[in-house]
């Protein structure tokens, strides 16, 4: 089993990565001396496929737990579902030293994390991410949220987990598109902070697509390390953490414009990264060779690199409504080199519109070399 430490002083925690590790969650809870009561939040399908070893371990450690399932949909990340979970927690007798276990993808992790952050002003949380996206991104870093009818992730809190258990076996049942969605974020880590990791991805496309466990173990571990190092430097997203939004300014606009139906999050991030890279090139900040390397890698993972058919002007307008656009100013994350990015608030409208125009055309245009 591999371990990654997220070093946040008193709030430090470990990410455990390996195969068949879920039986250890019960012992972890018992060793930490939390109250032996747990609310296990999951989705039916995930619980049926991967729940057995987890619950056997909880039983063996004498943890008294109740299983609460939420519907399999982004729309279950809301205050009504949170309230149902609060009711379950109260009825089951969870106290301030009890634990909420989030067992699922980012939807489960964000909702259960929000409940753990706010129930009794905060109880213990263990994240067990079961999608690649949740393993490399949403389970690490302490951001929790629910959606509001008027926007995604508008209500939330920072609440770090006590541990993250990443069982690579969970990835074996994940649909292909969900793997791709996670890979969007994995590629992002290479671009924002580690050229060597980017090259590793280029050299291991086939193994990754075959879901070779050793290769997946490496990319999950390295992604967690890179995310952890950014989170440790800036836990509350006041500065450096913004680099994690590389590709996300455009991705959020693409997702919103397509009503969160056409693209999985990481697929939209891939398109957004292409936008950011091309904008960087247009501004003379990076070479066309870098842009081409990024686009080629995404294509080899069978990801779309354009959003053909979308309305470029509308995409532009939506971009400036993004919740990360503080005071109407967008913090663009631009690429200087593979492994090196910068934040810029100063990207001319003309440049953004030109690149959005390219991406919304019907062809998958290659960047000019
Ligand atoms: N908190 C953060 O920092 C952060 C970061 C990124 C994304 N997010 C949030 O994460 C959410 C997206 O997460 P996601 O992409 O994991 O989506 P998801 O949770 O909806 O999971 C995707 C699908 O995969 C299924 N699934 C999960 N594990 C499985 C498994 N092992 N085998 C087979 N099927 C499985 C789910 O039931 C679902 O149908 C969004 O709500 C997003 O806002 C949060
Ligand atoms: Zn993301």
Three-state secondary structure of 102-152? EEECHHHHHHHHHHHHHHHHCCEEEEEECCHHHHHHHCCCCEEEEEECCEE
Ligand 1 pocket residue status of 127, Cβ below 6 Å: no
Q: Do domains 2-172 and 176-360 have the same CATH topology?
A: no
Strand 332-337 relative to strand 163-167, pairing: unpaired
Q: Please tell me the CATH code under which domain 176-360 is placed.
A: 1.20.1090.10
129 forms bridges with which residues in the sheet?
104
Q: Considering 162, 180, 188, 252, which one is annotated as catalytic?
A: 252
Distance of alpha carbon 161 from alpha carbon 142, whole angstroms: 6
pLDDT of residue 241: 86
CA angle 161, 162, 168 (to 5 degrees): 80
pLDDT of residue 239: 78
pLDDT of residue 33: 84
- Closest ligand, as measured to the CA of 272: 2
Strand 332-337 relative to strand 340-344, pairing: antiparallel
* C-alpha 277 – ligand 2 centre gap (Å): 16
Ligand 1 pocket residue status of 174, Cβ below 6 Å: yes
Q: Please tell me the CATH code under which domain 2-172 is placed.
A: 3.40.50.1970
Distance of alpha carbon 224 from alpha carbon 171, whole angstroms: 16
* C-alpha 55 – ligand 1 centre gap (Å): 21
pLDDT, averaged per 10 consecutive residues of the chain (369 residues), comes to 94 96 97 91 98 97 97 96 98 97 98 98 98 97 94 94 98 96 98 97 97 97 96 81 94 93 95 98 98 98 94 91 69 96 93 95 55
* C-alpha 135 – ligand 2 centre gap (Å): 12
- Closest ligand, as measured to the CA of 134: 1
pLDDT of residue 227: 95
Domain boundaries defined on the chain: 2-172, 176-360
Active site residue 50: no
Ligand 1 pocket residue status of 138, Cβ below 6 Å: yes
* C-alpha 41 – ligand 2 centre gap (Å): 22
Q: Considering 37, 124, 180, 185, which one is annotated as catalytic?
A: 185
Q: Considering 50, 241, 278, 285, which one is annotated as catalytic?
A: 241
């Amino acid at each position: 089993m591999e371990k990654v430490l997220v070093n946040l002083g008193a709030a430090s925690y470990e990410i455990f990565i390996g195969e068949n590790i879920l039986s250890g969650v019960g012992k972890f809870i018992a060793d930490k001396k939390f109250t032996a009561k747990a609310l296990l939040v999951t989705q039916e399908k995930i619980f049926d496929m991967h729940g057995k070893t987890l619950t056997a371990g909880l039983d063996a450690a004498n943890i008294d737990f109740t299983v609460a399932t939420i519907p399999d949909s982004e729309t279950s990340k809301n205050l009504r579902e949170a309230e149902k979970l609060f009711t379950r927690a109260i009825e089951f007798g969870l106290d301030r030293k009890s634990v909420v276990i989030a067992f699922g993808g980012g939807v489960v992790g964000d909702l259960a994390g929000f409940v753990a952050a706010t129930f009794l002003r905060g109880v213990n949380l263990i994240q067990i991410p079961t999608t690649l996206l949740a393993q490399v991104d949403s389970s690490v870093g302490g951001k929790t949220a629910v959606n509001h009818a008027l926007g995604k992730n508008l209500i939330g809190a920072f609440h770090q987990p006590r541990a993250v258990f990443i069982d690579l076996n969970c990835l074996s049942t994940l649909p292909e598109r969900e793997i791709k969605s996670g890979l969007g974020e994995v590629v992002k880590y290479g671009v924002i902070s580690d050229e060597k990791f980017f090259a590793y991805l280029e050299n291991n496309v086939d193994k990754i697509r075959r879901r070779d466990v050793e290769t997946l173990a490496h990319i999950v571990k390295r992604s967690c390390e890179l995310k952890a190092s950014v989170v440790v430097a800036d836990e509350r997203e006041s500065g450096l953490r913004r680099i994690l939004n590389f590709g996300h300014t455009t991705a959020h606009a693409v997702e919103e414009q397509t009503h969160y139906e056409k693209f999985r999050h990481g697929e939209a991030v891939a398109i957004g990264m292409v936008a950011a890279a091309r904008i960087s090139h247009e501004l003379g900040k990076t070479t066309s060779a870098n842009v081409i390397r990024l686009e080629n890698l995404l294509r080899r993972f069978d990801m779309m690199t354009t959003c053909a058919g979308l309305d470029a002007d509308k995409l532009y307008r939506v971009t400036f409504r993004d919740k990360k656009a503080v005071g109407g100013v967008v913090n663009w994350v631009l690429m200087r080199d593979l492994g090196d990015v910068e934040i810029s608030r100063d990207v001319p409208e003309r440049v953004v519109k030109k690149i959005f125009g390219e991406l919304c055309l019907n062809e998958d245009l290659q960047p000019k070399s």
